[in-house]
Amino acid sequence: MRLFAPLRDSLFARLFRRSLLGRIVFSFFLLSSLIVMFLTVFSFWSFTRSARRQLVDQIGAIATIKAETLNRWVDEQTRQAMSIASFTEVRGDAAILCDAGARPDARMRAHQRLQAFFAALLLNYPEVHAVSLLSGEGGRIVFSTDAASEGQYRVLDSEFTEGMKRTSIQTVHPSPITLEPTMSVSTPVLGMDRATIGVLVVSLNLDSMDRIIQDRTGLGRTGEAYLVDRYNSFVSGARFGRANYPRGVHSDGIDAALKGRNGSGSYLNYAGIPVIAAYRWIAERDLALLVEVHQEEALRSAWLQTLLLVVIGFSLVLLLAFGVYHLARRIADPVLAIQQAALQVSAGDLDATAPVLTPDEVGDLAGSFNRMTVTVRGLYEELRRKEEHFRSLIESSMDIVVVLGADSSFSFASPSVERVLGFRPEELRTLSALSLVHPEDLEKCRGEYARLTSGAGDSVVLGFPVRIARKAGGWRTLEANARNLLAHPAISGFVINARDITERQQLEDKLLQAQKMEAVGRLAGGVAHDFNNLLTVVIGYADVLGTSTELNREAREGVEEISKAAKRAAELTQQLLAYSRKQVLQPRTIDLNSLLAGMHGMLRRLIGEDVEILTHAAADSKSVRADPSQIAQVIMNLAANARDAMPNGGAIVFETQNVILDESYCRRFPEISPGEYMMLAVSDTGCGMDEETKKRIFEPFFTTKGIGKGTGLGLATVYGIVKQSGGHIAVASELGRGSTFKIYLPVAAAERVAGRGGTADSEIPKGVESVLVVEDETPLRRMICMVLERAGYVVHAAASSEDVFPKAADLARIDLLVTDVILPGMNGKEIAEMLLPRHSSMQILYISGYTESAIGQHGNLPEETAFLQKPFSPGELARKVREVLDGR
Amino acid sequence: MQSSNRERPARKTARRAAACVLTGAVLSLFGCGAQAGSREFRIGLIVPKSGPFAAYGGSHVEGARLAVAEANRDGGLLLKGRRYKVVLVEKDGGNSPEKALGAAQELINREAISALVGPILSGQAIPVAHLVDRAGIPMIVQIATNPAVTRGTRSVFRVCYTDDFQGVAMARFARERLGGRTAALLYDVASAYNSGVAAIFAREFAARGGRIVASETYTTGAEDFRAQLSRIAASRPDLLFLPNYPNEILPQVMQMRELGIQIPLVGSDAMSFSDPLYMAAIDGAWYGVHFSADHPTPVAAKFLAVYQDAYKREPDQGGALSYDAVGLLLAVARARQSVDPQEIAEGLRTFDVFDGVTGSIVFRGASDPGKGVVVVRMLSGKARFQTRIDP
């Protein structure tokens, strides 16, 4: 379509290129228009050619007729002049006038006669303009109807010179006198003697000739005929102003005619107007005759016919275009329908179908297209399902899946990221992954990133823990697996699969802590057992020694010191046991408010004057089940700890509260179960603790106090006791703002509140009952036996179950069985159960350094069970024995 | 011939333009403009080359050709930086007015002349002058002396004196230098020139105290003058004035000898003719001329040399006048820097003095210049300078 190159960008050209229909219609239109135009041009050429020919024939005939008419007219005038000249009366009078020797009166009469004669003649012959008589002598005009010219000599004029010889015609020429076109016939006038005496010159009226020439019959509106003399001058001045043509008139026709040619042609006439003309050279008259018709008029009918043809032709073209349009529509519509469907499909509407409108190839095409769309739709559906499958896999994953660009920007983030980090996936698009990493992990991350991108290894990072910031603040620990897929065209990034392991990590930490504590406790427990035995012996003997009167004062003081140190050691052991939860608890249903109230004096003494004590007791306080002495120990330890945090004074607040720990709270602390708890909070206004300290405060032997100031077991003991009592301890502390320890103890099922039992009597009670002592530890057994014997009791001793039954079989009565809980072979409880059937009144007192499952779960003895914690002093033993025997 | 060709090229241009339009040729402008190629200054010359006056034509043609040749020697006229070749278009005027008119028409209509020189006969020059004047073409009349030639025209000028002055001058000469008291006349009454000069001479001679004792006439073509000559002889004049043409004078003189009539002859400028037989016949006659080789001016001397060189003989007054006529046209074309007929005609109307070989030609706004009559006497076959009579 080079033809339309300049229109390439025009609307038309675009429509043309885009529209099939438009192209067909336009092409037909163009083609048929070209044909019509060709036909028009050909017809115009043909019409004008025939019109030209016809006209040339016509004006050629006219020209011939005019030339002949002109010649006939001139011949007629010639004959006329000759006949005039031959009139006798003219000849007679002429002879008189031409005779120089004639008498003047005769001349005058002759002149008058001629005047009358020619005046009459001129009236009858309008073709005659003037008549002159020239004398043979010098060509003098002796008579003329134009009186003014009489007397002139025309001796050299051809009218005269020729006329003297014979009748001659002076064809059209400018008169030497007037310069006007003139034609004259001159004929000799013969005297009576038949000699030439003069010349009669008859000037012809050129108007008559003009009328012949200018007769426009057959020449139409614009036609004209005219004569041109041999010098290109118009011969008729009447019609053509000579002044307009000072250089004569020129045209192809005039030039040709003046060269003596006859013919016809189309050219521009003397006035520059296109004409169709015929020209004749009338040799007899030395004149060119031109007959011209303006081409405009001549070809008007050709133009009109052509115009009609154009109108009809283009009407037919339009009709054809209309028809082609409808035909093309019928052909193109099915195609357009397919195109429409294809457009819909390409726009995404896969349900679009092309109507099968015709049974031909286009119909086949539509059918094929529809089958294709069905196939595509199936494939698309399959694809979509798969995509959805994988997408939902990703999106429903608890793990976070993200894709990072090479610059660590997020190019994809699974929805789970919002659940874990609080960021919506789209929010991450603007963030760099590294900006979310915990500062401490940043370097590690960069290292891993470098390793990933270096290409070393398999470009995979597995199980990489990293802390990532949450949107709301705080950190989550994620375990990330990363793979470098920068080279993968579909991903071109790092694919990171991360799992939130924050809780797991915390649990692991706690488990580790618990295991550590367990180990420490186990160790401590083991040591304490033996220690207790040893200390019981030491204390026992020291006490015995101390009461001996045989010692001097110095020795007695030494023994007391031993006793004191042993008791201190015993306390330590006790604490270790408490921490390791191996001590034997004697839980009672107690009211914390009462307990606190009872301890007020003691606390006051412990804390000192500088620190204020405030107590907020819960009004709806409920009972808890716990060993009151142990809880007292807890309170004492916490108070001491608080005091130590406030060297410059402050306040300690004791608070009890009835709380319910729900599931969510308990989830964070797996060792407790949801339910009703009593909370005991001990708050101080002291220096507080940092995070690191807070983590370790419950570790045994961890202390922030100076060497020798604390044992590092205070809080560990608290922890152990609370844990052993089924409770839970939480600490909140901020540096400089003080600390709060919250102890949660489960609310007791029943309301049986017991006060604290036992007395601290210094007097050793005595008895006479039969006591069986079973203790595998010989020094301890001997010490116990000694103390009891000295208190008056009948004491039988056995080292183990092997010993005890033979011995017991010998005894008629056993009032009390004092037995170690843990023994080689049968334990204390089993021994007791073996003995009870025979000695049904037998009381039982267990002694033990720590508890094992042998006695009670978690070392808790039934409330009615008598128990004496190792180490004990002789007094304590005696009082306990008495107490048990007395059934209290 | 830039503008002298005005009509025809314009028409051709129109025709070509139409052709250009019809053919649709884009180069039409170039094609149409290309015709300005040959530039010419076309000057028409009408002189008799046939008929009884054919002998007169030769020297006019020679003089005119010489002037044209001189102008073309350097490549033509230099007008506005362009060279124009001067072209002389010669036409035979015969001896009839119709013939001269035809020649003039042909020159104007078909030869595209810018200016015309001639015809030499007043009888022809009068109608031709009016025809030419109507076409606006400048015309220089070199030797037709009849006052009627320039009368009523705007673009017709003369380089010769008129019969008015010639008749007066010769009457003065005859009356005062020759001391004639009575004079006789013989002239062609049918010829404008002859009868015109004769009438003026007679009037002036009478006015100066002379007496015309005989005035005989004849008509053109007459051959026998014996009757008239006898009557003249009978009137015993001191001198006989013959304002006729040589072809008439020769038989008249011969018939005088035949009749034994001896009267001193006085002639007009028409008497001058370079024919040995003729010159012998008029020996002793006084007559006025336009130019004499005796006592030449520097301009005339140069002309004499050139003419002698070109034609190997002395120029006569016809050659000198035609030389001046062409020279005047060239001078005006140079002055106006144009060959346009209107421009040249306008130039002539305002021309002051032309220093020609025939003397100073003083126009001062007139068609007929003031110019002296040179009177010579034919003695032994040579026209001898007698006097110069200035207006």
Contact B127 A174 (CB under 8 A): yes
Contact B102/A at CB under 8 A = yes
For the stretch A524-540, pLDDT in tens is 667 777 777 788 888 88
Q: Which residues of B touch A246 (CB under 8 A)?
A: 7, 108, 134-137
Q: Mark out chain A residues that contact chain B at CB-CB < 8 A.
A: 137-140, 153-158, 161, 170, 173-174, 176-177, 179, 229-233, 242-243, 245-248, 250-252, 267-268, 270, 272, 274
3-state DSSP of A675-715: EEEEEEEEEECCCCCCHHHHHHCCCCCCCCCCCCCCCCCHH
**Burial class, B108, CB count within 10 angstroms (exposed 0-12 / middle 13-18 / buried 19+):** buried
Nearest to B220 among A138, A233, A272 (CB): A138
Contact B11/A at CB under 8 A = yes
Distance of CA A13 to the CA centre of its chain: 33
For the stretch B57-103, pLDDT in tens is 888 999 999 999 999 997 888 888 888 999 999 999 988 888 899 89
Contact B219/A at CB under 8 A = yes
Contact B130 A179 (CB under 8 A): yes
Residues B307-334, mean pLDDT to the nearest whole number: 91
End-to-end, the C-alpha distance of chain A in Å comes to 125
Write out the H or E segment, with its range, that includes residue A850.
Answer: none
Q: Which residues of A touch B101 (CB under 8 A)?
A: 173-174, 176, 179
What does the DSSP assignment read for A87-141?
-HHHHHHHHHHH-TTS-HHHHHHHHHHHHHHHHHHHHH-TTEEEEEEEETTTTBE
Distance separating alpha carbons of residues A843 and A825, to the nearest angstrom: 22
Q: Which residues of A touch B135 (CB under 8 A)?
A: 246-247
**3 state SS of A172:** strand
* Whole-number pLDDT of residue B207: 93
The least confident of A237-251, A508-522, A537-551 is A237-251
The whole-angstrom distance between B116's CA and the closest CA on chain A is 14
Q: Which amino acid is at A445?
A: C
Chain A to chain B, count of Cβ pairs less than 8 Å apart? Answer: 108
The whole-angstrom distance between A177's CA and the closest CA on chain B is 7
Nearest CA in chain A to B222: A138
Residues B361-374, mean pLDDT to the nearest whole number: 86
Cβ atoms A514, A522 nearer than 8 A: no
Residues B267-294, mean pLDDT to the nearest whole number: 88
The whole-angstrom distance between B50's CA and the closest CA on chain A is 14
Contact A268 B6 (CB under 8 A): no
Q: Rank A642-656, A810-824, B170-184 by mean pLDDT and report only the highest.
A: B170-184
Q: Which residues of B touch A294 (CB under 8 A)?
A: none
Distance separating alpha carbons of residues A68 and A63, to the nearest angstrom: 9
B263: how many CB neighbours lie within 10 A of its CB?
18
Residues B212-240, mean pLDDT to the nearest whole number: 92
Q: Which residues of B touch A154 (CB under 8 A)?
A: 190
Distance separating alpha carbons of residues A164 and A167, to the nearest angstrom: 8
Nearest to A248 among B109, B130, B189 (CB): B109
Closest C-alpha among B273, B218, B276, B226 to residue B254: B226
Distance separating alpha carbons of residues A462 and A483, to the nearest angstrom: 9
The whole-angstrom distance between A198's CA and the closest CA on chain B is 14
For the stretch A292-306, pLDDT in tens is 888 888 888 888 888
Nearest to A250 among B8, B102, B189 (CB): B8
Find the angle CA(B166)-CA(B169)-CA(B175) to the nearest 5 degrees: 135
The least confident of A307-321, A746-760, B212-226 is A746-760
Find the angle CA(A136)-CA(A139)-CA(A142) to the nearest 5 degrees: 85
Contact B9/A at CB under 8 A = no
Q: What is the CA radius of gyration of chain A?
A: 77
What does the DSSP assignment read for A784-813?
HHHHHHHTT-EEEEESSHHHHHHHHHH-S-
Is residue B46 over pLDDT 60? yes
Distance separating alpha carbons of residues B271 and B287, to the nearest angstrom: 7
* Whole-number pLDDT of residue A271: 84
Q: Are strands B353-356 and B359-362 parallel, antiparallel or unpaired?
A: antiparallel
What are the C-alpha distances in Å from B87 to residues A116, A788, B17, B70, B72? 55, 184, 28, 12, 9
Contact B219 A139 (CB under 8 A): yes
The whole-angstrom distance between A50's CA and the closest CA on chain B is 19
Find the angle CA(B348)-CA(B354)-CA(B356) to the nearest 5 degrees: 130
How much helix, strand and coil, in percent to the nearest 5, is found in chain B? 45, 20, 30
Nearest to B134 among A138, A154, A243 (CB): A243
The whole-angstrom distance between B357's CA and the closest CA on chain A is 33
For the stretch A451-493, pLDDT in tens is 777 765 567 777 788 888 888 888 888 888 888 888 888 788 8
Query: What is the pTM for the complete model shown?
Result: 0.55
For the stretch A415-447, pLDDT in tens is 888 888 888 888 888 888 888 888 888 888 888
The beta strands (E) that lie in A286-409 are given as 287-294, 400-404
Pair of tokens at residue A315: 């009407």
Distance separating alpha carbons of residues B364 and A440, to the nearest angstrom: 126
Is residue B299 over pLDDT 60? yes
Cβ atoms A409, A429 nearer than 8 A: yes
Distance separating alpha carbons of residues A802 and A664, to the nearest angstrom: 54
Residues A381-385, mean pLDDT to the nearest whole number: 91
Contact B190 A177 (CB under 8 A): no
For the stretch A385-417, pLDDT in tens is 998 898 888 877 778 888 888 788 888 888 888
A184: how many CB neighbours lie within 10 A of its CB?
26
For the stretch A752-762, pLDDT in tens is 444 444 444 45
Contact A137 B131 (CB under 8 A): no
Q: Which residues of A300-328 are buried (b: 16+ CB within 10 A; e: fewer)?
A: eebeebbeebbeebbeebeebbeebbeeb
B127: how many CB neighbours lie within 10 A of its CB?
22
For the stretch B1-40, pLDDT in tens is 344 444 444 444 444 444 444 443 333 333 333 334 468 9
Distance separating alpha carbons of residues B364 and A154, to the nearest angstrom: 35
Q: Which residues of B touch A254 (CB under 8 A)?
A: none
Nearest CA in chain B to A228: B109
What does the DSSP assignment read for A35-47?
HHHHHHHHHHHHH
Distance separating alpha carbons of residues A702 and A718, to the nearest angstrom: 13
* Whole-number pLDDT of residue B141: 93
Q: Which amino acid is at A606?
A: L
DSSP state of A212: H
Residues A496-521, mean pLDDT to the nearest whole number: 80
Contact B108 A246 (CB under 8 A): yes
Nearest to A233 among B95, B105, B219 (CB): B105
Cβ atoms A133, A113 nearer than 8 A: no
Contact B14 A272 (CB under 8 A): yes
**3 state SS of B207:** helix
- Ramachandran sector of residue B75 (left: φ over 0; alpha: ψ -120 to 50; beta: rest): left
What are the C-alpha distances in Å from A821 to residues A529, A537, A853, B121? 11, 17, 10, 189
Nearest to B101 among A176, A268, A270 (CB): A176
Which neighbouring-strand residues pair with A465? A479
Contact A246 B136 (CB under 8 A): yes
Closest C-alpha among B177, B160, B166 to residue B200: B166
Predicted confidence band of residue A6 (pLDDT cuts 50, 70, 90) = low
Contact A274 B18 (CB under 8 A): yes
Nearest CA in chain B to A138: B219
Nearest CA in chain B to A172: B98
Nearest CA in chain A to B195: A153
Nearest to B220 among A156, A247, A267 (CB): A156
Pair of tokens at residue A298: 């001549």
Q: What is the CA radius of gyration of chain B?
A: 23
Residues B172-183, mean pLDDT to the nearest whole number: 92
Nearest to A157 among B7, B97, B110 (CB): B97
Contact A247 B14 (CB under 8 A): no
Edge-first strand order for the sheet with A816-820 is: A794-798, A770-774, A816-820, A843-848, A866-869
Cβ atoms A540, A784 nearer than 8 A: yes
Contact B134/A at CB under 8 A = yes
The least confident of A11-25, A393-407, A829-843 is A11-25
Q: Name which residue leads in pLDDT, B162 or A236.
A: B162
* Whole-number pLDDT of residue A709: 58
Q: Which amino acid is at A343?
A: L
Q: Name which residue leads in pLDDT, A823 or B29.
A: A823
Residues B317-321, mean pLDDT to the nearest whole number: 90
Q: Which residues of B touch A231 (CB under 8 A)?
A: 102, 105-106, 108-110
Contact B221 A155 (CB under 8 A): yes
What does the DSSP assignment read for B56-113?
HHHHHHHHHHHHHHHHHTTTSEEETTEEEEEEEEEEE--SSHHHHHHHHHHHHHTS--
Nearest to A158 among B96, B105, B134 (CB): B96
Predicted confidence band of residue B216 (pLDDT cuts 50, 70, 90) = very high
* Whole-number pLDDT of residue B263: 92
Distance separating alpha carbons of residues A15 and B42, to the nearest angstrom: 67
